[in-house]
A and B are shown apart, each in its own frame.
Chain A
Amino acid sequence: MAPTLEIIKKQQTEDIWDEPYFVNMGPQHPATHGVLRLFLELNGETIVRCDPRIGYLHRGVEKLSEFRTYAQDMLLTDRLDYIASAANNVGYCLAVEKLMGLEVPRRAQILRVIACEMARIASHLLWLATHALDIGAMTVFLYCFRDREWLLDIFEMMCGARLTVSYPRIGGVRMDVTPEIIDELYKFTEEFPKRIPEYETLIDVNRIWLKRTKGIAVVSGQEAVNLGLTGPSLRGSGVPYDLRRSVPYLIYDELDFEVAVEFEGDVYARYRVRMKEMREANKIIRQCLDKLSGTEGEPVLAENAPDLLMPFGKIKRPQAAPHPKKGYVVRGVELPVVPEGEVYVATEVPKGELGFYIVSDGTGHPWRMRIRAPSFVHISAIPAMCEGQMVADLIAVIGSVDIVLGECDR
């Protein structure tokens, strides 16, 4: 960074502005969606180079998880992408269940899909609200928060928390839903499709919105794949890759929904994809509610699911042969064992592909847990997307790839 410092010094002492100059955007900039610092090299108002500096929200989630049991690690995943925490929980639980070979009851699977899709709508609503606010549309912000509030209330009824829900647990979900919650969800799915046109009336044809978003940061499908984009950012470039469809997990293969794809690859296309996805998510919740009535009274936790109070250390294996289904018996108490091995499970969260890679050494805690966070990859794509654009468009670019720094820095 020595030449950079020299140029800055020169610019401060002498009145020379023909050389590129350097600006720090963030880490406390309201439009960086968290504590992201972008080091910009500018030529006039055009971005020559953009260099994201991350790590301001690093809490060491991956390392912390090695010192907690599997049940306790699930609570750390709440705090990754705190806007859609239910989706993260489901991804983690699926990984551990695959490692243990657990079969989750059908009712719990349906409830998980409902929680995932509720989180998706809530996340996209918050994204639309803040993205529109960054670009200059204040009213959409208020309308989106009105509807997100409704979803958070339903989460509160389901599991007692609004943001860090920790609704699933290994082998099922924490709690069954009550008839009131199902009624409220039916009401929501009735009402929400009428709310989406409201946002679209406000911004979809608004000429300021169109000028700020159309043709900005165009990424072709090939480039998007090369950059490692996933989720709506990839589908906005015309690549119909959705893990819910290509690698179905839970009950997604039984559900009827479309993969939202747009082909322009600009900021506007990514916005259109997310609007379509909200409609599809609403459809999915509706179908799940219909399926839920067929599983009335069934348990929501697998029979051989581990307790919340899991042993941390190496489980001493007694002389007796292991129970074929339930694991090992220690002092008369049956303990399911997380076997040695490694597993990678990717799920489609609102931001993109969230993967959990867990290496287990047979103890009650992961030997290593690696999180493949979509936000981290998306931030690394920002420099390629914003080079040659104006500084003001950088705000639109940051918004359009939908990043959450809690997930990126972990």
Chain B
Amino acid sequence: MSQQGIFTRVFLLEILKGLSLTFRKLFAKPVTVQYPEQKKPLAPGFRGRHALVRDPETGKDRCIGCYRCAQVCPAQCIFIETERDPETRKRIVKRYEIDALRCIFCGYCEEVCPVNAIVLTEFYEYSGYSRQDLYFNKEKLLQNWDEFIVTQKRPYFNPFWRPRGIPVEKLPAPKRKAEGV
């Protein structure tokens, strides 16, 4: 064995090299975040808890009952029931429910919604004790929106409502000139 070979073997040079690296990291800026106290800022457009947008003018949801979200949903977790108003012949959304436990958070629903009624909010800290807690009906979805929007800068516009770089003619007409809430 060469002289250098013996030297590295006795003094464990390669181990010391590694240890010096870890020792230097002792004085580096920590990358960890003390989670419940500190939070990492989320990117806009994070696909989190569902909400139905409450229209600031009418105070109601914007859903028109077109069933597009229910049709495009790959997990089939959106349930809608509509009926016609007997006088005005307008469509009324009787039931709008999302089973959050089935949802895979792909964001297709907010992308196809022509009136930007549904949104996956940038809110991820939610849980429940039973399955019923995570089965959102219309009131709960509107409540989700109220809880979310107070933490946001107005007007709020989700990137998935009009995805960047998608040609305008590919979007439904109301989406092209949609504005923030």
Could you tell me which A residues sit within 8 Å of B by CB distance? 68, 71-72, 75-76, 107, 139, 146, 149, 153, 156-157, 159-161, 164, 166, 173-178, 198, 201-203, 205-207, 298-301, 303, 305, 307-309
| Residues in A neighbouring B170, C-beta threshold 8 A | 301, 305, 307
Between-chain CB contacts (< 8 Å), 29 pairs: A71-B72, A75-B106, A76-B74, A107-B165, A146-B31, A149-B31, A156-B42, A159-B45, A161-B46, A161-B47, A164-B105, A173-B165, A175-B45, A175-B159, A175-B165, A198-B21, A202-B21, A203-B18, A205-B14, A205-B17, A207-B14, A207-B15, A301-B166, A301-B167, A301-B170, A308-B72, A309-B68, A309-B72, A309-B112
- Contact B43–A157 (Cβ < 8 Å): yes
With A160-B159, A309-B112 in contact, is A303–B167 under 8 Å at CB? yes
Residue in contact with B166 in the complex, picked from A72, A164, A177, A299, CB distance below 8 Å? A299
Q: How far is the CA of A203 from the CA of B106 in the complex (A)?
A: 39
- Contact B166–A202 (Cβ < 8 Å): no
Q: How far is the CA of A292 from the CA of B113 in the complex (A)?
A: 30
| Residues in B neighbouring A157, C-beta threshold 8 A | 43
- Contact A202–B104 (Cβ < 8 Å): no
In the complex, B136 has a CB within 8 A of chain A: no
Q: How far is the CA of A177 from the CA of B159 in the complex (A)?
A: 11
Look across to chain A and name the residue whose beta carbon is closest to the beta carbon of B160: A160
Q: How far is the CA of A161 from the CA of B106 in the complex (A)?
A: 8
Q: How far is the CA of A44 from the CA of B124 in the complex (A)?
A: 51
- Contact B45–A160 (Cβ < 8 Å): yes
In the complex, B174 has a CB within 8 A of chain A: no
With A206-B18, A305-B170, A309-B71 in contact, is A174–B42 under 8 Å at CB? no
| Residues in B neighbouring A206, C-beta threshold 8 A | 14-15, 18
Interface string of B99-125 (1 = CB under 8 A from A): 000001111100110000000100000
- Contact A176–B165 (Cβ < 8 Å): yes
Look across to chain A and name the residue whose beta carbon is closest to the beta carbon of B75: A75
Give the interface size bracket for B toward A: 20 to 34
Interface string of B76-109 (1 = CB under 8 A from A): 0000000000000000000000000000111110
CB distance from B45 to the nearest CB of A (A): 4
In the complex, B22 has a CB within 8 A of chain A: yes
With A160-B45, A202-B18, A308-B111 in contact, is A176–B106 under 8 Å at CB? no
Look across to chain A and name the residue whose beta carbon is closest to the beta carbon of B22: A139
| Residues in B neighbouring A160, C-beta threshold 8 A | 43, 45-47, 107, 120, 159-160
CB distance from B120 to the nearest CB of A (A): 8
Look across to chain A and name the residue whose beta carbon is closest to the beta carbon of B104: A75
CB distance from A112 to the nearest CB of B (A): 13
Look across to chain A and name the residue whose beta carbon is closest to the beta carbon of B12: A207
CB distance from B28 to the nearest CB of A (A): 10
Q: Could you say which of A71, A139, A160 has the most chain B C-beta atoms within 10 Å of its C-beta?
A: A160
| Residues in A neighbouring B108, C-beta threshold 8 A | 71-72, 75, 308
| Residues in A neighbouring B15, C-beta threshold 8 A | 206-207
| Residues in A neighbouring B164, C-beta threshold 8 A | 175-178, 300
Top-6 shortest CB links A-B: A176-B165, A72-B74, A176-B164, A300-B165, A205-B14, A160-B45
Q: How far is the CA of A203 from the CA of B169 in the complex (A)?
A: 54
Q: How far is the CA of A89 from the CA of B164 in the complex (A)?
A: 19
Q: How far is the CA of A68 from the CA of B167 in the complex (A)?
A: 26
- Contact B163–A174 (Cβ < 8 Å): yes
Q: How far is the CA of A303 from the CA of B169 in the complex (A)?
A: 9
| Residues in B neighbouring A164, C-beta threshold 8 A | 104-106
CB distance from A31 to the nearest CB of B (A): 22
Look across to chain B and name the residue whose beta carbon is closest to the beta carbon of A178: B164
Q: How far is the CA of A307 from the CA of B72 in the complex (A)?
A: 10
Look across to chain A and name the residue whose beta carbon is closest to the beta carbon of B21: A201
CB distance from A277 to the nearest CB of B (A): 23
| Residues in B neighbouring A299, C-beta threshold 8 A | 165-167
| Residues in A neighbouring B17, C-beta threshold 8 A | 201, 205
Q: Which of B32-70 contact A (CB under 8 A)?
A: 42-43, 45-47, 68
Q: How far is the CA of A298 from the CA of B165 in the complex (A)?
A: 7
CB distance from A111 to the nearest CB of B (A): 9
| Residues in A neighbouring B106, C-beta threshold 8 A | 75, 164, 166
CB distance from A32 to the nearest CB of B (A): 26
Residue in contact with B43 in the complex, picked from A72, A149, A156, A308, CB distance below 8 Å? A156
CB distance from B72 to the nearest CB of A (A): 5
Q: How far is the CA of A71 from the CA of B46 in the complex (A)?
A: 21
- Contact B22–A308 (Cβ < 8 Å): no
